[in-house]
Amino acid sequence: MNENLSTHGARGELFEIRRMLARAGTFDGYRATPVAWSGALALIAGVLQRWLAPSPLGFVALWVATAALSFGLNFFVIARTYGASPRHWERSLAFAALLDLMPAIVGGTALTVALVVLGSVELLPGMWMILYGTGVMASRRHVPRPCAWIGLAYVAAGAATLLLMQGAEALGAPIMAGAFGVGQFLLALVLARAAPDPALDPAEVRP
């Protein structure tokens, strides 16, 4: 009986250790390459916007599609890398890292719908920058420290866009393409510099 209780207690402690590691550990699932591609997609979307000169609703559709494609690309890389991992704590860590982004994603979706319905599409670029920046800062536990500063720069750029850009001026192609193109390339640079040495296999030191 005592042996069973001891075993159960040990398993509970192991689960708690894994849970804490998943919440506080560094997550290396964010890769520089897909983040850089998301920056390239932002630049491509800016070129398409200038060429197509879409209506305000077309502007929303173009950038929502770009954001969905960028997120899907990064999610695919994370899911492929960690989804089949035999280590429970690695899967938990990947889930925790993605979960940190969900409030910004859900809030951004709701805000986009609300501003489109109200006919205030010109407010969206600044709000998107602020929401994305807060999402990056919310993930600071799982990404290199300089990423949080880039998230703060997104927030500042969004606030400046809301305060300084009037009406259709805020919907100009250089605004979104510049902010998200440059921002994502900076994030990719930070992630590339902080990437772990592939010669060091962390699996060799894990129990």
Q: What is the pLDDT of residue 31?
A: 72
Q: Positive or negative CA dihedral for 22, 23, 28, 31?
A: positive
The answer to whether the beta carbons of residues 36 and 190 sit under 8 Å apart is no
pLDDT given for residue 10 in this prediction: 52
Assign 87 to helix, strand or coil: coil
Tokens standing for residue 101: 């982004």
Which carries the bigger pLDDT value, residue 150 or residue 202?
A: 150
Whether the Cβ atoms of residue 32 and residue 192 lie closer than 8 Å to each other: yes
Q: How confident is the model at residue 202 (pLDDT cuts 50, 70, 90)?
A: very low
The pLDDT score that the predictor gives to residue 179 is: 95
Whether 169 shows a pLDDT value over 80: the answer reads yes
Task: Please give the share of the chain, as a percent, with pLDDT higher than 70.
Answer: 68
Spatial separation of the C-alpha atoms in residues 134 and 25, rounded to whole Å:
20
pLDDT at 193: 84
Q: Is the distance from CB of 174 to CB of 46 less than 8 angstroms?
A: yes
- 21 has pLDDT over 50: no
pLDDT tens by residue, 71-127: 888 777 777 766 666 566 566 666 666 676 778 888 889 999 999 999 999 999 999
Looking from the CA of 149 toward its CB, the CA atoms found within 13 Å total: 5
- What pLDDT does residue 22 have? 46
* pLDDT (0 to 100) of residue 56: 92
Domain map (residue ranges) of the chain: 2-196
